[in-house]
Amino acid sequence: MKDLRWVVNDVSSYSPEPTEIKELINESKEVFREDLEKGKGWLIEKEPNKPFIIVGDLHGDLHSLKHILSKINERALSKGELTLVFMGDYVDRGPNQLETLLSVLKLKVLYPRNVVLLRGNHEPPKDLIPYPHNFPEELRLRFGFAVGMDLYEEFLNLFQMFPAVLHVRKEMIVLHGGLPTETFKKSDTLHEYFMGRSREQGKRVLTEILWNDPIEFNLPSTPSPRGVGYLFGKPVTQWVIKKFRVDAVFRGHEPVDNGYKMNHEGRVITLFSRLGPPYFNRRAAYAAVDPEISNWWKKIKHFIITFSNNIATS
């Protein structure tokens, strides 16, 4: 079986020149442009007719990315027998931010219909830059101030084209942060719920998609201690599941010591797929979900794979 590690090896085997990076950025823009034309803004949809590999935050951890890709059959991905989904936060904090980002972009270009790159809060809107955000600093250190900032601007423009939500029909919602509260009980369609009814409302909803976190309280929302977004409670999840006929919500965004956690009676699953500082979580995790298995969400732990020091533990 040929796995996908060769993509990471190819990217990390040499120090890419700015011209090569821009070339990949431009190729990625063409692929994302096609997705935008087929989709509904930052909401994309897939049918539940194949397994889904779902990966959480990577934050420049190339080693964990390589480990996850070692478990994925390239032939199955290329033939469309599975879909590989990344939930954002490819850069910041980790030691190999650029290589991690270039690797997932290359995967998207090579397998455009079967790889989904969602946007995290560290692939930010231009008016909502996270802190800390040391990706531009890494580019400046590697390529000099002028070239580094030019590359950062190119990446920032590319991030604006990333989708923010994946809807697998009648099965699950996948996003980076959490379910929006702005449009809670105010939307008739999934598109309205995730896109808002106006441009300004849509911006507020996107902020929540990228920044929200779940809490185990029986209230819709409360301001987030992050200073941006909200904490969303069980009523929001229950309403979304019933209204839009899905079974579960996958999200990243939060460091988790065991690599994953459950909220809202197992309907909200958090995955954290990187190891090392500054989080020092004992394990990382990703999920391999087969929606064709009846009531898969009731036995979700069977579909979650954890690893520590890149050795599978379950």
Question: Which pLDDT tens digit goes with each residue over 4-22?
Answer: 998 999 888 888 999 999 9
Q: How far is the C-alpha of 123 from the C-alpha of 60, rounded, in Å?
A: 13
Average pLDDT over residues 69-86: 96
Q: What's the pTM value of the predicted model, to 2 decimals?
A: 0.96
Let me know if 292 is exposed, middle or buried by CB neighbors in 10 A (0-12, 13-18, 19+): exposed
Q: How far is the C-alpha of 8 from the C-alpha of 65, rounded, in Å?
A: 8
Q: Would you state the pLDDT for residue 76?
A: 95
pLDDT over 70 at 1, yes or no: no
**Tokens at 299, concatenated:** 């036995």
**Tokens at 70, concatenated:** 């070692």
Mean pLDDT estimate for the chain: 95
Question: Residue 70's domain spans which residues?
Answer: 5-312
pLDDT above 90: percentage of residues in the chain: 91
Given pLDDT bands bounded at 50, 70 and 90, which one contains residue 312? very low
Q: Which residue has the higher pLDDT, 308 or 312?
A: 308
Q: Would you state the pLDDT for residue 130?
A: 96
Q: Would you state the pLDDT for residue 314?
A: 39
Q: Would you state the pLDDT for residue 296?
A: 96
**Tokens at 127, concatenated:** 């008016």
pLDDT over 60 at 165, yes or no: yes
pLDDT over 60 at 298, yes or no: yes
Residue 160 belongs to domain with CATH number: 3.60.21.10
Reduced to 3 states (helix: H, G, I; strand: E, B; else coil), residue 45 is strand
Q: How far is the C-alpha of 46 from the C-alpha of 306, rounded, in Å?
A: 25
Q: How far is CA 86 from CA 7, 34, 63, 242, in A?
A: 15, 18, 16, 26
Q: How far is the C-alpha of 191 from the C-alpha of 145, rounded, in Å?
A: 41
Residue 138 in contact with residue 6, Cβ under 8 Å? Answer: no
Average pLDDT over residues 138-156: 97
Q: Which among 88, 89, 90, 82 is positioned nearest to 115, based on CA atoms?
A: 82
Q: Would you state the pLDDT for residue 281?
A: 95
Q: Would you state the pLDDT for residue 313?
A: 42
pLDDT over 90 at 35, yes or no: no
Q: How far is CA 248 from CA 12, 19, 25, 261, 297, in A?
A: 35, 42, 33, 13, 7
Q: How far is the C-alpha of 44 from the C-alpha of 38, rounded, in Å?
A: 8
Q: Would you state the pLDDT for residue 311?
A: 55
Q: Would you state the pLDDT for residue 162?
A: 97
Q: How far is the C-alpha of 144 from the C-alpha of 180, rounded, in Å?
A: 39
Question: Which pLDDT tens digit goes with each residue over 242-257?
Answer: 999 999 999 999 999 9
Let me know if 127 is exposed, middle or buried by CB neighbors in 10 A (0-12, 13-18, 19+): exposed
Total tally of structural domains belonging to the chain: 1
Average pLDDT over residues 55-60: 98
Convert 178-209 to b/e letters by CB count within 10 Å (16 or more is b). Answer: bbbbbbbeebeebbebbbbeeeebbeebbbbb
